[in-house]
Copies of this chain bind each other. A is one copy, B any other.
Protein backbone atom coordinates (compact mmCIF):
# COMPACT_ATOMS: atom_id res chain seq x y z
CA UNK A 1 0.00 0.00 0.00
CA UNK A 2 1.11 3.47 -0.83
CA UNK A 3 1.44 6.37 1.50
CA UNK A 4 -0.90 9.33 1.42
CA UNK A 5 -3.85 7.14 2.26
CA UNK A 6 -6.31 8.08 4.92
CA UNK A 7 -8.89 5.96 6.66
CA UNK A 8 -12.37 7.15 5.81
CA UNK A 9 -15.94 6.00 5.91
CA UNK A 10 -17.42 5.48 2.47
CA UNK A 11 -19.85 8.35 3.02
CA UNK A 12 -17.01 10.67 4.04
CA UNK A 13 -14.79 9.62 1.15
CA UNK A 14 -17.64 10.39 -1.21
CA UNK A 15 -18.12 13.80 0.36
CA UNK A 16 -14.45 14.72 0.23
CA UNK A 17 -14.14 13.51 -3.34
CA UNK A 18 -17.07 15.70 -4.31
CA UNK A 19 -15.30 18.72 -2.87
CA UNK A 20 -12.13 17.77 -4.71
CA UNK A 21 -14.14 17.41 -7.90
CA UNK A 22 -15.18 21.01 -7.59
CA UNK A 23 -18.59 20.49 -6.05
CA UNK A 24 -19.38 23.60 -4.03
CA UNK A 25 -23.02 23.06 -3.46
CA UNK A 26 -25.01 20.44 -1.57
CA UNK A 27 -28.68 20.23 -0.71
CA UNK A 28 -29.82 17.27 1.32
CA UNK A 29 -32.00 15.84 4.03
CA UNK A 30 -30.90 13.36 6.70
CA UNK A 31 -31.64 9.69 6.28
CA UNK A 32 -29.80 6.62 7.48
CA UNK A 33 -27.44 5.26 6.14
CA UNK A 34 -26.28 8.30 4.17
CA UNK A 35 -26.38 10.90 6.92
CA UNK A 36 -22.60 11.03 7.46
CA UNK A 37 -22.27 12.39 3.94
CA UNK A 38 -24.57 15.27 4.74
CA UNK A 39 -22.86 15.86 8.06
CA UNK A 40 -19.44 15.76 6.46
CA UNK A 41 -20.42 18.39 3.94
CA UNK A 42 -22.09 20.51 6.61
CA UNK A 43 -18.58 20.89 8.08
CA UNK A 44 -16.57 20.80 4.90
CA UNK A 45 -18.34 23.01 2.38
CA UNK A 46 -18.23 26.19 4.45
CA UNK A 47 -14.44 25.73 4.63
CA UNK A 48 -14.26 26.13 0.86
CA UNK A 49 -16.90 28.87 0.69
CA UNK A 50 -19.37 26.38 -0.65
CA UNK A 51 -23.10 26.21 -0.16
CA UNK A 52 -24.43 23.65 2.30
CA UNK A 53 -28.12 23.71 2.94
CA UNK A 54 -30.20 21.18 4.79
CA UNK A 55 -33.46 21.32 2.90
CA UNK A 56 -36.87 20.86 4.47
CA UNK A 57 -37.35 17.61 2.53
CA UNK A 58 -35.89 15.46 -0.19
CA UNK A 59 -38.27 17.08 -2.64
CA UNK A 60 -37.08 20.55 -1.76
CA UNK A 61 -33.49 19.33 -1.98
CA UNK A 62 -33.81 17.92 -5.49
CA UNK A 63 -35.54 21.07 -6.66
CA UNK A 64 -32.83 23.22 -5.11
CA UNK A 65 -30.41 21.09 -7.09
CA UNK A 66 -32.44 21.93 -10.19
CA UNK A 67 -32.20 25.65 -9.48
CA UNK A 68 -28.51 25.55 -8.61
CA UNK A 69 -27.56 23.34 -11.55
CA UNK A 70 -29.57 25.57 -13.84
CA UNK A 71 -27.65 28.51 -12.43
CA UNK A 72 -24.39 26.84 -13.36
CA UNK A 73 -23.21 25.24 -10.12
CA UNK A 74 -21.59 21.85 -9.60
CA UNK A 75 -24.12 20.43 -7.23
CA UNK A 76 -24.94 17.23 -5.40
CA UNK A 77 -27.69 15.74 -3.29
CA UNK A 78 -27.93 12.44 -1.48
CA UNK A 79 -30.46 10.25 0.18
CA UNK A 80 -31.61 6.66 0.51
CA UNK A 81 -34.67 4.50 -0.27
CA UNK A 82 -37.79 6.49 0.61
CA UNK A 83 -36.01 9.78 0.06
CA UNK A 84 -34.88 8.76 -3.40
CA UNK A 85 -38.43 7.76 -4.26
CA UNK A 86 -39.55 11.25 -3.29
CA UNK A 87 -36.98 12.73 -5.65
CA UNK A 88 -38.29 10.91 -8.72
CA UNK A 89 -40.33 13.78 -10.11
CA UNK A 90 -37.33 16.05 -9.68
CA UNK A 91 -34.97 13.56 -11.32
CA UNK A 92 -37.26 13.32 -14.32
CA UNK A 93 -37.18 17.13 -14.55
CA UNK A 94 -33.38 17.23 -14.25
CA UNK A 95 -32.96 14.63 -16.96
CA UNK A 96 -35.45 16.39 -19.20
CA UNK A 97 -33.76 19.76 -18.74
CA UNK A 98 -30.30 18.24 -19.17
CA UNK A 99 -28.95 19.65 -15.93
CA UNK A 100 -25.65 18.24 -14.70
CA UNK A 101 -25.66 17.12 -11.09
CA UNK A 102 -24.87 14.13 -8.92
CA UNK A 103 -27.47 12.20 -6.95
CA UNK A 104 -26.29 9.70 -4.36
CA UNK A 105 -28.41 6.78 -3.20
CA UNK A 106 -26.85 4.93 -0.28
CA UNK A 107 -29.31 2.08 -0.51
CA UNK A 108 -31.18 0.70 2.48
CA UNK A 109 -33.82 -2.01 2.57
CA UNK A 110 -37.33 -1.61 1.33
CA UNK A 111 -40.02 -1.64 0.37
CA UNK A 112 -41.76 0.94 2.54
CA UNK A 113 -39.88 2.15 5.57
CA UNK A 114 -38.15 -1.24 5.55
CA UNK A 115 -34.86 -1.26 7.40
CA UNK A 116 -31.65 0.69 7.39
CA UNK A 117 -29.26 -2.12 6.54
CA UNK A 118 -27.67 -2.49 3.11
CA UNK A 119 -29.65 -3.48 0.05
CA UNK A 120 -29.45 -3.34 -3.73
CA UNK A 121 -33.17 -3.29 -4.33
CA UNK A 122 -33.23 0.14 -5.97
CA UNK A 123 -31.50 -1.14 -9.12
CA UNK A 124 -34.66 -1.01 -11.22
CA UNK A 125 -35.52 2.42 -9.94
CA UNK A 126 -32.06 3.71 -10.76
CA UNK A 127 -31.63 2.10 -14.16
CA UNK A 128 -35.17 2.14 -15.53
CA UNK A 129 -36.18 5.56 -14.41
CA UNK A 130 -38.27 5.62 -11.26
CA UNK A 131 -39.69 8.85 -12.56
CA UNK A 132 -42.13 9.39 -15.40
CA UNK A 133 -41.24 9.58 -19.04
CA UNK A 134 -38.42 8.27 -21.17
CA UNK A 135 -35.11 9.05 -19.60
CA UNK A 136 -32.02 7.33 -18.34
CA UNK A 137 -29.20 8.50 -16.19
CA UNK A 138 -25.71 7.12 -15.75
CA UNK A 139 -25.59 4.96 -12.63
CA UNK A 140 -22.22 4.21 -11.05
CA UNK A 141 -21.82 1.40 -8.53
CA UNK A 142 -18.78 1.61 -6.28
CA UNK A 143 -17.48 -1.51 -4.56
CA UNK A 144 -14.98 0.00 -2.11
CA UNK A 145 -14.39 3.13 -0.18
CA UNK A 146 -11.74 4.01 -2.75
CA UNK A 147 -14.35 3.76 -5.48
CA UNK A 148 -16.79 5.82 -3.43
CA UNK A 149 -14.24 8.56 -4.01
CA UNK A 150 -13.11 7.74 -7.54
CA UNK A 151 -16.56 7.25 -9.00
CA UNK A 152 -17.72 10.49 -7.44
CA UNK A 153 -15.10 12.36 -9.41
CA UNK A 154 -16.16 10.39 -12.46
CA UNK A 155 -19.80 11.19 -11.81
CA UNK A 156 -19.20 14.92 -11.89
CA UNK A 157 -17.19 14.56 -15.08
CA UNK A 158 -19.94 12.57 -16.77
CA UNK A 159 -22.58 15.01 -15.58
CA UNK A 160 -20.71 17.88 -17.16
CA UNK A 161 -19.79 16.09 -20.33
CA UNK A 162 -23.30 14.96 -21.15
CA UNK A 163 -25.37 17.55 -19.29
CA UNK A 164 -27.14 14.88 -17.31
CA UNK A 165 -27.87 13.95 -13.74
CA UNK A 166 -25.66 11.05 -12.66
CA UNK A 167 -26.49 8.64 -9.87
CA UNK A 168 -24.06 6.96 -7.52
CA UNK A 169 -25.69 3.79 -6.30
CA UNK A 170 -23.98 2.69 -3.12
CA UNK A 171 -25.37 0.85 -0.13
CA UNK A 172 -25.35 1.16 3.62
CA UNK A 173 -22.38 -1.10 4.04
CA UNK A 174 -20.22 0.90 1.65
CA UNK A 175 -21.40 4.09 3.27
CA UNK A 176 -20.59 3.00 6.81
CA UNK A 177 -17.40 1.03 6.40
CA UNK A 178 -13.89 2.46 6.57
CA UNK A 179 -11.01 1.68 4.27
CA UNK A 180 -7.82 3.47 3.37
CA UNK A 181 -8.40 5.89 0.54
CA UNK A 182 -6.08 7.73 -1.74
CA UNK A 183 -7.97 10.87 -2.51
CA UNK A 184 -8.29 11.72 -6.16
CA UNK A 185 -6.84 14.90 -7.52
CA UNK A 186 -10.05 15.58 -9.38
CA UNK A 187 -10.50 17.78 -12.40
CA UNK A 188 -10.05 21.52 -12.30
CA UNK A 189 -12.16 23.07 -9.60
CA UNK A 190 -13.98 25.22 -12.13
CA UNK A 191 -16.68 23.43 -14.07
CA UNK A 192 -16.57 23.80 -17.85
CA UNK A 193 -18.35 26.84 -19.24
CA UNK A 194 -22.11 26.63 -19.12
CA UNK A 195 -23.36 29.11 -21.67
CA UNK A 196 -26.87 27.79 -21.20
CA UNK A 197 -27.03 28.55 -17.48
CA UNK A 198 -29.43 31.16 -16.16
CA UNK A 199 -27.10 33.68 -14.62
CA UNK A 200 -28.70 36.89 -15.82
CA UNK A 201 -28.84 37.80 -19.49
CA UNK A 202 -26.31 40.60 -19.55
CA UNK A 203 -24.84 40.83 -23.01
CA UNK A 204 -26.63 37.87 -24.46
CA UNK A 205 -30.05 36.45 -25.33
CA UNK A 206 -32.08 35.15 -22.44
CA UNK A 207 -31.51 31.58 -21.29
CA UNK A 208 -34.33 29.29 -20.29
CA UNK A 209 -34.29 26.08 -18.29
CA UNK A 210 -37.51 24.36 -19.16
CA UNK A 211 -39.03 20.94 -19.63
CA UNK A 212 -42.45 21.82 -20.97
CA UNK A 213 -43.20 21.43 -24.66
CA UNK A 214 -46.87 21.44 -25.44
CA UNK A 215 -46.48 20.90 -29.16
CA UNK A 216 -46.01 17.20 -29.78
CA UNK A 217 -43.67 17.68 -32.73
CA UNK A 218 -41.43 19.79 -30.51
CA UNK A 219 -41.60 17.40 -27.58
CA UNK A 220 -40.87 14.45 -29.82
CA UNK A 221 -37.79 16.25 -31.11
CA UNK A 222 -36.67 16.91 -27.55
CA UNK A 223 -37.18 13.25 -26.72
CA UNK A 224 -35.26 12.21 -29.79
CA UNK A 225 -32.32 14.39 -28.78
CA UNK A 226 -32.41 12.90 -25.33
CA UNK A 227 -32.44 9.38 -26.75
CA UNK A 228 -29.48 10.21 -28.97
CA UNK A 229 -27.58 11.40 -25.93
CA UNK A 230 -28.48 8.22 -24.09
CA UNK A 231 -27.30 6.14 -27.01
CA UNK A 232 -23.98 7.96 -27.05
CA UNK A 233 -23.56 7.36 -23.36
CA UNK A 234 -24.54 3.72 -23.79
CA UNK A 235 -21.93 3.33 -26.50
CA UNK A 236 -19.11 5.19 -24.78
CA UNK A 237 -19.46 4.95 -21.04
CA UNK A 238 -20.12 1.37 -20.03
CA UNK A 239 -17.51 0.16 -17.55
CA UNK A 240 -16.93 -3.18 -15.87
CA UNK A 241 -14.34 -5.16 -13.94
CA UNK A 242 -13.46 -8.67 -15.05
CA UNK A 243 -11.80 -11.18 -12.76
CA UNK A 244 -10.63 -14.56 -14.02
CA UNK A 245 -13.18 -14.49 -16.80
CA UNK A 246 -10.83 -15.68 -19.55
CA UNK A 247 -11.49 -19.36 -19.01
CA UNK A 248 -14.43 -19.14 -16.65
CA UNK A 249 -17.05 -21.84 -17.02
CA UNK A 250 -19.20 -20.44 -14.28
CA UNK A 251 -19.43 -16.69 -14.48
CA UNK A 252 -20.63 -14.83 -11.42
CA UNK A 253 -22.13 -11.41 -12.08
CA UNK A 254 -22.49 -9.04 -9.15
CA UNK A 255 -22.16 -5.33 -8.48
CA UNK A 256 -21.14 -3.16 -5.58
CA UNK A 257 -20.17 -4.69 -2.28
CA UNK A 258 -21.69 -8.02 -3.28
CA UNK A 259 -19.09 -8.35 -6.02
CA UNK A 260 -16.37 -8.35 -3.38
CA UNK A 261 -18.00 -11.14 -1.46
CA UNK A 262 -18.49 -12.97 -4.73
CA UNK A 263 -14.81 -12.54 -5.52
CA UNK A 264 -13.94 -14.38 -2.33
CA UNK A 265 -16.31 -17.15 -3.39
CA UNK A 266 -14.73 -17.26 -6.85
CA UNK A 267 -11.30 -17.60 -5.26
CA UNK A 268 -12.51 -20.46 -3.12
CA UNK A 269 -14.14 -22.11 -6.11
CA UNK A 270 -10.90 -21.86 -8.07
CA UNK A 271 -9.09 -23.35 -5.09
CA UNK A 272 -11.58 -26.20 -5.27
CA UNK A 273 -10.88 -26.68 -8.96
CA UNK A 274 -13.98 -25.01 -10.36
CA UNK A 275 -13.30 -22.59 -13.19
CA UNK A 276 -15.25 -19.63 -11.84
CA UNK A 277 -14.89 -15.99 -12.79
CA UNK A 278 -16.41 -12.69 -11.79
CA UNK A 279 -17.95 -9.94 -13.86
CA UNK A 280 -18.68 -6.70 -12.03
CA UNK A 281 -20.60 -3.94 -13.79
CA UNK A 282 -19.24 -0.63 -12.59
CA UNK A 283 -21.79 1.29 -14.60
CA UNK A 284 -25.25 -0.15 -14.09
CA UNK A 285 -26.61 2.10 -16.75
CA UNK A 286 -25.25 1.92 -19.30
CA UNK A 287 -25.08 -1.79 -18.57
CA UNK A 288 -21.76 -3.14 -19.88
CA UNK A 289 -23.44 -5.56 -22.26
CA UNK A 290 -20.62 -6.06 -24.74
CA UNK A 291 -18.09 -6.69 -22.01
CA UNK A 292 -20.42 -9.16 -20.34
CA UNK A 293 -21.02 -11.02 -23.57
CA UNK A 294 -17.31 -11.43 -24.07
CA UNK A 295 -16.69 -12.36 -20.44
CA UNK A 296 -19.35 -15.03 -20.74
CA UNK A 297 -17.87 -16.41 -23.95
CA UNK A 298 -16.53 -19.58 -22.34
CA UNK A 299 -19.14 -19.81 -19.62
CA UNK A 300 -21.50 -22.72 -19.37
CA UNK A 301 -23.68 -20.87 -16.95
CA UNK A 302 -24.00 -17.49 -15.36
CA UNK A 303 -24.88 -16.80 -11.74
CA UNK A 304 -26.14 -13.37 -10.81
CA UNK A 305 -25.92 -12.50 -7.13
CA UNK A 306 -27.69 -9.50 -5.71
CA UNK A 307 -29.00 -8.10 -2.45
CA UNK A 308 -32.52 -8.06 -3.81
CA UNK A 309 -35.14 -10.34 -5.33
CA UNK A 310 -33.59 -10.29 -8.81
CA UNK A 311 -33.19 -7.02 -10.67
CA UNK A 312 -29.86 -6.72 -12.49
CA UNK A 313 -30.43 -10.30 -13.57
CA UNK A 314 -32.87 -8.89 -16.13
CA UNK A 315 -30.06 -6.96 -17.76
CA UNK A 316 -27.89 -10.05 -17.70
CA UNK A 317 -30.65 -12.01 -19.42
CA UNK A 318 -31.30 -9.24 -21.92
CA UNK A 319 -27.60 -9.19 -22.72
CA UNK A 320 -27.08 -12.91 -23.10
CA UNK A 321 -30.42 -13.20 -24.89
CA UNK A 322 -30.96 -16.89 -24.29
CA UNK A 323 -27.40 -17.90 -25.17
CA UNK A 324 -26.47 -18.91 -21.61
CA UNK A 325 -28.18 -20.32 -18.57
CA UNK A 326 -28.70 -17.44 -16.18
CA UNK A 327 -29.16 -18.29 -12.51
CA UNK A 328 -29.97 -15.99 -9.67
CA UNK A 329 -29.12 -15.93 -6.01
CA UNK A 330 -30.34 -13.14 -3.79
CA UNK A 331 -30.78 -12.12 -0.21
CA UNK A 332 -33.09 -9.40 1.01
CA UNK A 333 -34.00 -7.25 3.94
CA UNK A 334 -30.46 -6.41 4.97
CA UNK A 335 -29.22 -9.98 4.89
CA UNK A 336 -25.95 -10.04 3.02
CA UNK A 337 -25.14 -13.03 0.82
CA UNK A 338 -22.28 -14.88 2.49
CA UNK A 339 -19.26 -16.01 0.49
CA UNK A 340 -20.04 -19.54 1.57
CA UNK A 341 -23.57 -19.34 0.16
CA UNK A 342 -22.29 -18.07 -3.16
CA UNK A 343 -19.71 -20.81 -3.28
CA UNK A 344 -22.42 -23.40 -2.77
CA UNK A 345 -24.45 -21.88 -5.60
CA UNK A 346 -21.40 -22.05 -7.85
CA UNK A 347 -20.94 -25.68 -6.88
CA UNK A 348 -24.60 -26.49 -7.44
CA UNK A 349 -24.63 -24.86 -10.86
CA UNK A 350 -21.31 -26.45 -11.76
CA UNK A 351 -22.88 -29.83 -11.17
CA UNK A 352 -26.01 -29.02 -13.15
CA UNK A 353 -27.05 -30.40 -16.50
CA UNK A 354 -27.37 -27.89 -19.29
CA UNK A 355 -31.09 -28.40 -19.57
CA UNK A 356 -32.04 -27.57 -16.01
CA UNK A 357 -31.81 -23.89 -16.46
CA UNK A 358 -33.94 -21.42 -14.58
CA UNK A 359 -35.77 -19.07 -16.87
CA UNK A 360 -38.13 -16.25 -16.01
CA UNK A 361 -41.64 -17.64 -15.65
Contact = CB atoms under 8 A, between A and B. Distances in A.
Interface of A: 59, 81-82, 84-86, 88-89, 92-93, 95-97, 107, 109-117, 119, 121-122, 124-125, 128-135, 210-224, 226-227, 231, 234-235, 289-290, 308-309, 311, 314, 317-323, 331-335, 359-361
B361 A234 contact: yes
A213 B333 contact: yes
A217 B335 contact: yes
15 contacts: A88-B130, A88-B131, A93-B113, A109-B133, A109-B223, A110-B135, A111-B226, A113-B211, A114-B213, A124-B128, A128-B128, A221-B333, A318-B318, A320-B322, A322-B323
A89 B113 CA distance: 9
A308 B115 contact: no
Contact of A115 (B115, B131, B212, B226): B212
Contacts of A85: 88-89, 92, 130-132
B86 A134 contact: no
B134 A227 contact: no
Most chain B CB neighbours (cut-off 10 Å) among A213, A215, A219, A226:
A219
Given A314-B318, A335-B217, A110 B132 contact: yes
Given A86-B86, A321-B321, A212 B114 contact: yes
A93 B132 CA distance: 19
